[in-house]
Amino acid sequence: MSEPLVLGIETSCDETAVGIVRGRNLLANVISSSVDTHARFGGVVPEIASRAHLEAIHNVIDQALRDADVSITDIDAFGVTAGPGLIGALLVGTSAASGMALALNKPLYGVNHLTAHLSVDTLNNKDSFDGAIGLLVSGGHSSILKIGDYITDVETLGTTMDDAAGEAFDKIARLLKLSFPGGPAIDKISKEGNASAINFPRGLSNNDDHRFDFSFSGLKTAVSRYLQQTPSHIVADVAASFQEAVADVLVSKSIDAAKSQGISTIIIAGGVAANSRLRELAQQRCDLAKINLRIPPLALCTDNGAMVASLTSLAVSGGHKPSAL
């Protein structure tokens, strides 16, 4: 049998996204985002996100099928993000996916959003690994995972004690009166700033009880206090120094995790993996540590359907059982 043709749906937050893969080959990746609608509220509004998913899902599925040049009846299996995410938003994706699976009598796989973010690395990539450290950094999550196998062997080594990394970017951007979402805005303005202007704290560093955990609340307080105490602050310098503190702690802990587990591959994924300084610093330090660093292309870092299709495809090829409808 040829490799499975899989359609994956992602609606856990504000992106209505559909990806189609054949085996490990990406055929289509269509994304409709409601982020602009949320921007004036400074964060994602769940009700608005659900409604936007409902309005977009049909067209996004149609467009993905057109891009992949396949018909819905050709699809061998459907995948959908089952969680974690906004419940009303998830329901739109799971309803659409179950409807199609039921109508076409094809298997349905509900997949984990976090693992899916990392598994997108397998697309258009023939390399295999015998173990990787996954740094998953998004608006809702910051975790260090140890991955033996994407379906059967994913262990959480550390997670955030408070805010997610992306959430920290969004909150600091708000303090700096930059646009939402904060990550891209901070990334952009930081290019004009001095990253060593202010030495902001690196949360939970040298803390044996939380060796692979993160905390960004102290950093947030430090930035807020600095802004209050320094009326003449330079926004680009504050942004760059904040970004440096986040990138430093994310990279240091991931490399420490890899070394402690005797693992020589690190994969970084999630929206914050789009950050240019994080990518640069991770590459420099991984080169020094002789660690193989993999970061998916930018369009596959933020929420997308290809990641759901990739994880589903691995489940199908591995002979794993579908989920109950």
CA dihedral 143, 162, 42, 241 (to 10 degrees): -80
Taking a C-beta distance cutoff of 8 angstroms, is the pair 85, 116 a contact?
no
Reported as type and span, the H/E element at residue 90 is helix 87-104
182 in contact with ligand KG4 (CB under 6 A): yes
Instruction: Say which amino acid occupies 265.
Output: T
Q: Tell me the three state secondary structure of residue 152.
A: coil
Binding mask 105-144 for ligand KG4 (x = CB under 6 A): ---------------------------------xxx----
Query: Residue 312: how many CB atoms within 10 A of its CB?
Result: 33
256 in contact with Zn ion (CB under 5 A): no
Q: Which residues contact 46 (CB under 8 A, 6 or more apart)?
A: 86, 87, 88, 89
Structure tokens at 25: 């080959």
One residue of 112, 138, 243, 310 binding Zn ion per CB under 5 A: 138
| Nearest residue (CB) to Zn ion, 171 versus 202 | 171
303 in contact with Zn ion (CB under 5 A): yes
One residue of 184, 193, 203, 296 binding ligand KG4 per CB under 6 A: 184
275 in contact with ligand KG4 (CB under 6 A): yes
- Considering only the stretches 57-65, 137-145, 151-159, 161-169, report the one whose residues sit in contact with Zn ion under the rule CB under 5 A: 137-145
List strand residue ranges (DSSP E) for 153-262, in order: 153-159
270 in contact with ligand KG4 (CB under 6 A): yes
13 in contact with ligand KG4 (CB under 6 A): yes
φ and ψ of 167, to 5 deg: -65, -40
**Chain residues that interact with ligand KG4, rule: CB under 6 A:** 13, 138-140, 166-167, 169-170, 181-184, 187, 270-272, 274-275, 302-303
**Chain residues that interact with Zn ion, rule: CB under 5 A:** 138, 303
